[in-house]
Amino acid sequence: MSDNKLIKAIKEKGQTMEAEMSFFDHLEALRWHLVRSAIAIVIFTAGAFYFYDFIFDTIIMGPSKPSFWTYRMLCKLGEYLHRDGFCINKINISLLNTEMAGQFTLQINSALLIGITLGFPYLLWEIWRFIKPALHEKERKAASGFVIYATFLFIIGVLFGYYVITPESINFLSSYTISPTIENKFSVDSYLSSVATLTLATGIVFELPILVYVLSSLGVLTVKFMRETRRYAVVVILIIAAVVTPTPDMMTMTVVSIPLFILYEVGILVAAVVEKRKKAREAAL
């Protein structure tokens, strides 16, 4: 009897050790996925550091110049509508560096932000490679376009933030004054932080359909719940638009809100597709 208990205890211990080894194996695999992602980001950062003159003058400082693409398109729109006030001929912005190593730190930080932005699709691919072995064959097929869709939405969000939200915000904030005795002079860190936050935050917000897909697959979100809470989602979207756009301009908030409303409706369609596939699998079983 004691021998049977001993054998049973040894088997249970062996299963526990096997589970622990499997857990640590997964951690080791995740570590290497993250290491490769970090290496990719470092490579992109080094490239951004090397071509920094072009990146700083054309990309980072672009929204602060009247020749920026968005301002030119607004001017053409004003001409097409035969209305004045659309053209922006001057942006009252003056940048200052108040720290000894400020400009060097600016170059490092901005190159790192460019590296993270360019390396984000590769990071998604590494995450997909880590998750893929744990999925069943049907789940792999259903989520096969995860990296492509997530990357596409992120790029669209970044472009929308860079070409729409950022120039509108910079133009408004740089010219906003409460007294003629106060002169607007901004630190380079403040300017870079504004451009990076508005651009990257919009790219992340545009991942909403992917988040809905994941939560729907886990059974956390349902189509019924999303439709019933649509009125609350409108309020949340308006709050997000107000946070993402640091301007009280209703026009800018409306321009930001419309894509978010569309993304929410797309999320409902995504949740409906997920539920339909679940019901089809249950019917097959």
Residue 22: φ, ψ to 5°: -65, -40
User: Which amino acid belongs to residue 203?
Assistant: G
Q: Does a structural domain hold residue 44?
A: yes
Q: Tell me the pLDDT tens digit for each residue of 184-206.
A: 888 888 888 889 888 988 888 88
Q: Does a structural domain hold residue 106?
A: yes
Q: Does a structural domain hold residue 249?
A: no
Greatest Cα pair distance, the chain, in angstroms, is 97
Which range of residues forms the domain containing residue 18? 2-206
C-alpha 263 chain-centroid distance: 14
Domain count, the chain: 1
**Terminal-residue alpha carbon distance, the chain:** 43
105-123 mean pLDDT: 90
**Beta-ladder partners of 71:** none
Average pLDDT over all residues of the chain: 80
Of 38-52, 139-153, 198-212, 214-228, the range with the lowest mean pLDDT is 139-153
Q: With beta carbons less than 8 A apart as the criterion, state whether 30 and 24 touch.
A: no
Q: Tell me the pLDDT tens digit for each residue of 34-58.
A: 889 999 999 999 999 999 999 999 9
Q: How far apart are CA 220 and CA 207, in angstroms?
A: 17
Q: Give me 156's structure tokens.
A: 């669209």
pTM: 0.78
Q: Does a structural domain hold residue 222?
A: no
Q: Does a structural domain hold residue 40?
A: yes
Of the candidates 37, 36, 52, 190, the one whose C-alpha atom is nearest the C-alpha of residue 114 is 52
